[in-house]
Homo-oligomer: A and B are copies of this chain.
Amino acid sequence: MFLINSFEIIGTIAFAISGALIGIEKKLDLFGVMFLAITTAVGGGIFRDIIIGNTPPTAFINPASCVISIATALITFYFYKKLHKLKNIIVISDALGLGVFTAVGANTAVTHEMNYAFIVVSMGLITGVGGGILRDVFVKDIPFVFRKEIYAVASILGALCFFFTYNYLSEAMSLYISFIVTFIIRILSMIYNLNLPVPQNKENSSAM
């Protein structure tokens, strides 16, 4: 599980950077930037733990992810002008994070003996995208994940892979497959600029 743990740290950092950058863009103060970094990095996992009744959520008992997020937020706050050069690294790290959080979330459902397809996929998805949704709600953006690119779909497909393999393979193997499928779909969707269909209304007149 060493790789999974490493990817989890990389993903936490990437998610925290995305939260901190949006906080900076919205001119929040240092607390706001740190709060948004933490929310983005651990919000999905907290939400998942509340839903499955695993209280208090892991993020509160083991604050490692929060500490990493705070450190990341501080560095981002003071050096964000230099982060442009790292744009590709951040995008790839974000995809790593999506993959690993999806895999870990799906696995959490199973280890709590909730092994229906629907709840396994839901927990993978919520762990993967929940933090980003909270981040966007806090700064008054319509959540990114509702609007474009294959982001949630990558998470759903990755979680499904976990569900279909964990009965036959070792836990670690299923985690890796789920992670890799999510990661590759996410990266491919960016390379080929794939999007889900959007409504064809030219004007809002069609809305009721």
Contacts and interface: CB of A to CB of B under 8 A. Distances in A.
Interface of A: 21-33, 35-36, 46, 50-53, 55-57, 60-61, 63, 66, 77, 80-81, 83-84, 87, 90, 114, 116, 118-119, 122, 133, 137-143, 145-148, 152-153, 195-199, 201, 204, 206-208
26 contacts: A21-B207, A25-B206, A29-B147, A30-B198, A31-B152, A32-B145, A36-B146, A50-B50, A50-B51, A51-B55, A51-B57, A53-B55, A60-B114, A60-B118, A61-B116, A66-B118, A77-B199, A80-B206, A83-B208, A84-B206, A87-B208, A90-B208, A137-B137, A140-B140, A140-B141, A140-B142
A141 B60 CA distance: 27
Contacts of A139: 142
Contacts of A122: 60
Contacts of A199: 24, 27-28, 33, 77, 80
Q: How many copies does the complex hold?
A: 3
A141 B33 CA distance: 16
A91 B61 CA distance: 34
A146 to B, nearest CB: 3
Contacts of A51: 46, 50, 55-57, 60
A32 B118 contact: no
Contacts of A84: 206, 208
